[in-house]
Amino acid sequence: MLNRGYAYTTIVSSKYHGRTLLSHLASLYPHSTPQAWQKNLNNREVTVNGITVTGSESLTSGQTLVWNRPPWSEPDAPQHFEVLFNDPHLLAVNKPGGMPTLPGGGFMENSLLRLVQKQTPNANPVHRLGRATTGIVLFAKTPQAAAKLFADWNTPGIQKIYRALAQGVAQHDTYEILAPIGLVPHPLIGSVWAANPSGKPSKSLAKVISRAPSSTASSSTASSGTAGTTTFEVRLNSGRPHQIRIHLASIGHPLVGDPLYGSTGQPLENLPGLPGDGGYFLHAQFLNFQHPITGVRINLEAALPSGFSLHQ
């Protein structure tokens, strides 16, 4: 089933002034080759300041560039979510695995944002979870609630607690992980977030919930080449992209089945999948905060997916 298509709109910045349109499109949207972009241009899919263009034009800073992508068949994703909390200001849902929070990467209608807005058009997410990550996503319904939550999101007043299944048996019961997180180059995908000494300060507190030595780990875990597993409870004190995946990997415990990060918090050189791909278990289990409008303390919990109990 095809979606409705989408108009991708950008404003040409001064650093691209004088660049040819075709080369700009190929660098702006590198998922397609220049030859593929020329075909899109020939199909009259691209306009500059409302005028259909051919690709040979030179760009001028401030111009409005629009790619009118025709309808396409999106990758499959779950079409359901569980409502955990709902009032005039907030909506909290339990996101299933395999559903992106926001449109992107080929997903448009098959995203949590689109599905939620079909029922609650004024709801917008305060944060996001990775496509494979399950658990609590909080939406604001009013500008006042959104402003307060955005301001407080990475402060101690909002407690975010995750459950993660990691490779290897942890030696310690608790870990304070402070590895900075920033973009690093990658030969296959350009750049990716990872442990980076020059990145932004980041803090996670990981506590061991259970350990499963290799002799008792499930057959699926054993087949992945890990020597046992550890289930962690992780509290976030900052909100960097892929923070838990990177931080646990940086202490030698990457998530079981993670297609992106190895045991140093760096991306794997030969990726078995793309950054958004699944295969790992990470769940946003608890979210505790003061209601931004009423001041009442809100304590949310999303039940663990079945995969976690299979690996205990």
Residue 47 has pLDDT above 80, yes or no: yes
pLDDT of residue 219: 43
Which CATH architecture does the domain made up of 157-280 adopt? Answer: 2-Layer Sandwich (3.30)
| Share of residues in the chain with pLDDT > 70 (%) | 92
| Whether the domain at 6-69 and the domain at 157-280 fall into the same CATH topology | no
pTM of the model: 0.82
What is the C-alpha to C-alpha distance for residues 80 and 96, in angstroms, rounded to an integer?
A: 8
Residue 312 has pLDDT above 60, yes or no: no
Task: Among 3.10.290.10, 3.30.300.30, 3.40.710.10, 1.20.1260.10, name the CATH number for the domain at 6-69.
Answer: 3.10.290.10
pLDDT tens digits for 292-303?
Answer: 999 999 999 999
Q: Are 253 and 239 in contact (CB under 8 A)?
A: no
Q: Are 192 and 206 in contact (CB under 8 A)?
A: no
Q: Are 253 and 164 in contact (CB under 8 A)?
A: no
pLDDT tens digits for 76-103?
Answer: 888 899 999 999 999 999 999 989 998 8
Handedness of CA 137, 140, 145, 151 (dihedral sign): positive
Task: Return the minimum-mean-pLDDT range out of 133-142, 155-164, 179-188, 209-218.
Answer: 209-218
Residue 108 has pLDDT above 50, yes or no: yes
Q: Where are the domains of the chain?
A: 6-69, 157-280
Residue 164 has pLDDT above 80, yes or no: yes
182 CB-near residues (< 8 Å, 6+ apart): 193, 194, 196, 198, 199, 200
DSSP assignment letter at 59: P
Tokens of 257: 């089945």
Around 50, how many Cα atoms within 13 Å sit in the side-chain half-sphere? 0
Q: Tell me the residue length of the chain.
A: 312
pLDDT tens digits for 207-242?
Answer: 999 999 875 444 444 334 458 999 999 999 888 989
